[in-house]
Amino acid sequence: MLEITDNVHLADWEIEFQAIRAQGAGGQNVNKVASAVHLRFDIQRSSLLPFYKERLLNYSDQRINQDGVIVIKAQRFRTLEMNKDDALQRLKELIQQAIKPVKIRRATRPTRGSQRRRMDNKTQRGKTKSLRNKVDV
């Protein structure tokens, strides 16, 4: 059972693991042992609250495919168990990021002092550049 928040849990039947061979360097062992993990989590079939499902389906992340299935590949560690734990942790973080409220941006204006400093800086740069021109004799 994966605990997302204090009152939201995911049952073991909702998360599907598939052992695969890890990619990359690792010597002979990497070619023989399936130590990497594909974690699959179907958002629609899950027991999550509708609010969570909606936020996850609208969340923009490359790990969520068009069918509403989260696919996480974990191959950071050498053992299958550690990769499973890593994949579960990453799933938990993904769900927590998706349900975090989006901060509303409020339009602000630059202060009068910052506008004045900007214009003074532009004037100074213009004077410096005008001194580089040819001198009339």
Question: Has residue 83 been placed in a domain?
Answer: yes
For residue 87, what are the domain limits? Answer: 2-99
Average pLDDT over residues 28-55: 83
- Nearest Cα residue to 72 out of 84, 59, 63, 62: 63
- Dihedral angle sign, alpha carbons of residues 74, 96, 103, 113: negative
pLDDT at residue number 26: 66
**104 lies in some domain:** no
Q: Is the residue at 9 inside a domain?
A: yes
Residue 89 domain flag: yes
| Full-model pTM | 0.69
Residue 116 lies in a domain: no
Of the candidate ranges 8-17, 22-31, 50-59, 106-115, the one whose mean pLDDT is the lowest: 22-31
Q: Are 4 and 95 in contact (CB under 8 A)?
A: yes
Number of domains into which the chain is organized = 1
Mean pLDDT value across residues 40-54: 87
Task: Confirm whether 134 is domain-assigned.
Answer: no
Residue 28 lies in a domain: yes
CATH number at residue 15: 3.30.160.20
- Tell me what the pLDDT averaged over the chain comes to: 87
Taking residues 48-68, report their average pLDDT.
Answer: 85
**What does the pLDDT look like over 65-111, one tens digit per residue?**
888 889 999 988 888 899 999 999 999 998 888 888 888 999 999 99
Flag whether 91 is in a domain.
yes
